[in-house]
């Protein structure tokens, strides 16, 4: 007995329409990588699904917006994770951030200024006259 391999996917308009949309979205996200999707490319792919009658135009527009939004969110999340990982690695290696370096440079300049003021007041002596001869 031979099984038929000519199976047809359920039509979005008749049964499991939400399932088809979810499958299409998952396919986009998995196949293309959420962070790599551009709005133009998503639009092209969704328009193809609309032409094939797999989804309606309204569903396609909604899908484009959802996918682009998810792509942006995923990219932001990836950047945050990468930044956090880099900050941890820098700390583990004993490195400081640019901001921390700038803060330390400011503190050094302030300390140098205070030392100069103290040296001048020490040189001036008790009555304001210089102790040097």
Mean pLDDT by runs of 10 across the 133 residues of the chain is: 43 49 66 61 84 87 84 80 82 87 97 97 72 52
Q: What is the pTM of this model?
A: 0.44
Contact 22, 14 (CB under 8 A): no
Contact 33, 74 (CB under 8 A): no
- What is the domain partition of the chain in residue ranges? 17-94, 96-125
The closest of 91, 110, 25 to 60, measured between CA atoms, is 25
Tell which residue, 76, 64, 77, has the closest CA to residue 37: 64
Of 23, 10, 12, give the one whose Cα is nearest residue 57. Answer: 12
pLDDT value of residue 14: 42
Q: How far is the C-alpha of 49 from the C-alpha of 28, rounded, in Å?
A: 12
């Amino acid at each position: 007995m031979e099984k038929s391999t000519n199976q047809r996917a359920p039509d979005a308009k008749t049964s499991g329409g939400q399932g088809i949309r979810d499958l299409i979205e998952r396919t986009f996200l998995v196949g293309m990588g959420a962070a790599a999707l551009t709005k133009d490319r998503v639009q092209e792919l969704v328009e193809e699904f609309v032409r094939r009658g797999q989804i309606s135009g309204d569903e396609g527009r909604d899908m484009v917006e959802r996918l682009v939004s998810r792509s942006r969110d995923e990219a932001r999340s990836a950047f945050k994770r990468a930044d956090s990982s880099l900050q941890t690695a820098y700390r583990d290696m004993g490195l400081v951030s640019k901001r921390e370096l700038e803060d330390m440079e400011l503190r050094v300049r302030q300390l140098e200024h205070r030392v100069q003021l103290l040296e001048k007041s020490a040189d001036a002596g008790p009555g304001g006259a210089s102790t040097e001869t």
